[in-house]
Amino acid sequence: MEENITNQEEQIVNTVQEFNNAEQPSAEKCGCHEGKKCKCLPIVNCILLVGLVLLYIFHFTGIGAKDGKNLVNAEAKQPVATGEGGLTIAYINTDTLMAKYQYALDLQKQLKDFQSAKENNYKSQAAQFQKDYEAYIKNGGENMTLSQQQAKEKELQDRAQRLSTLEGQYSQEVAEKTIAESEKMTRAVYNFIREYNAQNQKFTLILARSFSSSPILYGDEGMDITDEIVKGLNEEYAKVKADEK
């Protein structure tokens, strides 16, 4: 919806009709009273975006690591050298990482709640505007002086204008928050893997494997370090949450 109701009743009707045709929902239009899925805000799918970002966590570069973190694990899977150059390779299943990393799960819920709050706020304002507009049209400005009618029409005009930009504003807020929080998590995961590897296996290369988008068609299970990485990430996250209390 993009960014009127003039002082004349006919023009108010036209503006509200345009408002509705652009899918700015009234209480009936959004289907909320019928238990239908509300389409008031075609906002970015937060969960899919978080997953997409994590699928590429290994492609981020130039991120500084924290010093002094002890990630030594006596049970870490030891690398097996391949080829004459002694190249050691491992991979992490990012689908499993997303499904088991508590930080990612908590973030998905937070972003979903943030989106729902924006949607509910918009629906509430749109429904109230429709109610007030219909009430004004029904009584035809009864018991109002000309100046009072003009003031009421101006109020409706201003509210319609605000609603016409509100959806885009909320969509942008949700998208910006999703990207910022996802990048924050991505940096944390990338740094953890780098430091963990430096203090344990020292693999030459760690790849990301995913069912939906991955250049890896096959990987020996002996090269899969997903479980120990997820375990380490969750232990770190648990400590951070405990320190926040």
Q: What percent of the chain has pLDDT over 70?
A: 69
Q: Which range has the top average pLDDT, 5-9, 48-52, 55-59, 168-172?
A: 168-172
Tokens 């049970």, residue located? 75
pLDDT number for residue 85: 67
Give a yes or no: residue 46 inside a domain: yes
Give a yes or no: residue 1 inside a domain: no
Distance CA 80, CA 86 (A): 8
What is the SS3 string spanning the chain?
Answer: CCCCCCCCHHHHHHHHHHHHHCCCCCCCCCCHHHCCCCCCCCCCCHHHHHHHHHHCHHHCCCCCCCCCCCCCCCCCCCCCCECCCCECEEEEEHHHHHHHCHHHHHHHHHHHHHHHHHHHHHHHHHHHHHHHHHHHHHHCCCCCCHHHHHHHHHHHHHHHHHHHHHHHHHHHHHHHHHHHHHHHHHHHHHHHHHHHHHHCCCCCEEEEECCCCCCCCCCCHHHECHHHHHHHHHHHHHHHHHHHC
Give a yes or no: residue 56 inside a domain: yes
Distance CA 6, CA 69 (A): 64
CB of 82 closer than 8 Å to CB of 88: yes
pLDDT in tens, 9-51: 344 334 434 444 444 444 444 444 444 444 444 433 443 344 4
| Total count of domains within the chain | 1
pLDDT in tens, 69-95: 677 887 777 776 565 567 888 999 999
pLDDT number for residue 167: 87
Give a yes or no: residue 48 inside a domain: yes
Distance CA 203, CA 236 (A): 21
Give a yes or no: residue 142 inside a domain: yes
Give a yes or no: residue 85 inside a domain: yes
Tokens of 132: 């007030």
Give a yes or no: residue 107 inside a domain: yes
User: Which of 232, 207, 202, 208 has its CA nearest to residue 80?
Assistant: 202
pLDDT number for residue 81: 55
Q: Which domain holds residue 77?
A: 9-244
Distance CA 116, CA 110 (A): 10
Mean pLDDT for the stretch of residues 110-135: 94
Give a yes or no: residue 32 inside a domain: yes
Distance CA 199, CA 40 (A): 50
Tokens 């508590």, residue located? 102
Distance CA 167, CA 125 (A): 11
